[in-house]
Amino acid sequence: MTTDPLSSIFSALADPTRRDIVARLAVADATVNELAQPYEVTVQAVSKHLRVLENAGLVSRSREAQRRPVHLEAEVFDLMTKWIERYRRQAEERYRRLDDVLRAMPDDVEPRPPRPRQTGAGR
Amino acid sequence: MTTDPLSSIFSALADPTRRDIVARLAVADATVNELAQPYEVTVQAVSKHLRVLENAGLVSRSREAQRRPVHLEAEVFDLMTKWIERYRRQAEERYRRLDDVLRAMPDDVEPRPPRPRQTGAGR
DNA sequence: GCCGTATTCAACCTTATGGTTGAAAAAGGC
DNA sequence: GCCTTTTTCAACCATAAGGTTGAATACGGC
């Protein structure tokens, strides 16, 4: 499957169990069994989660006897951070400029209502 | 459906079309029709994508005649960035300390192999 | 060589997701 | 009042995702 890197990373982190796994791996490497311990699900399910994380490049596994310690690869976070920050900055820059325009606007010109909002969240 | 905020945000950004929409909205607000233009898919599909983004709090829609301009809500990015940076920093901190330990380790002590790696990425 | 432990593979089930088409709703233009 | 434009709703379809159980594989301990 040819999924682009960012998609796999975001998708991997969209699951709360996998985010929790990442959080725990940030503290220390751990084996599949150890990781599976606190969750309700089977070890197999956690193994699947780890494969998703591995395919996204977020973790790697080594071999140590029968155990296969899982290790967090924090560098991949950069890809995400860069993407996010890029558009966040771009958007913020745009609002700043909009504010400038509004501030410089002469009084007789009717500005478009400054983004009226209305989320429609409550359905 | 009671999906937690971070899950909806990451999940929303896991789709390349939706990321592209976000990228374009960072430049300027746009209507559903305008947004749908460059893609192969139907307007309805884009409308669905926008609902996903809206449920994640990433965009909001106002009303302006029949048009419903879509607006990027960049603040939500913070939630992600905070999550990411927290664990990235934690992980990096850990490696820094590990390096210290290894450096301070007396020669007669056999250290555990310093994370042998072996991504297994190539499947 | 056999046993136990750790992990993965395979087959299967259920639900979510992204897409489609076709109809309905909302609001202005005349 | 009707037509047009923009957007959403509804029903449907195919496939991916997350979970299960049960069997297979990989190693180290004796």
- Alpha-carbon span B73 to A23, nearest angstrom: 27
**How far A64 CA lies from chain B's nearest CA (Å)?**
10
What is the pLDDT, as a whole number, of residue B58?
96
Model confidence pLDDT, tens digit, residues B58-85: 999 988 777 899 999 989 999 999 999 9
Domain boundaries, chain B: 5-73
Answer yes or no: CATH 3.30.420.140 is held by domain B5-73: no
Q: Which nucleotide has the least CA–C1' distance to B45? A: C19
Mean pLDDT of A5-15: 97
> Percentage of residues in chain B with pLDDT exceeding 90?
63
With a CB cutoff of 8 Å and minimum separation 6, the contacts of B16 are A4, A6, A7
Q: Which residue has the higher pLDDT, A41 or B117?
A: A41
Protein-strand C interface by C-beta, 7 A: A 31-34, 43-44, 47, 50-51, 61, 66-69; B 1, 11, 14-15, 17, 40-42, 44-45, 48-49, 52, 63, 65-66
CB contact under 8 A, A6 and B16: yes
In angstroms, the separation between the Cα of residue B7 and the nearest Cα of chain A is 5
* Mean pLDDT to the nearest integer, B92-118: 56
- Which DSSP helix (H) or strand (E) runs through A94? helix A77-104
Cβ-Cβ contacts under 8 Å, A57 against chain B: 119, 121
A15 and B9 Cβ atoms separated by less than 8 Å: no
Gap from A89 CA to D24 C1', in Å?
Answer: 52
Judged by phi (left if over 0) then psi (alpha if -120 to 50, else beta), residue B47 lies in alpha
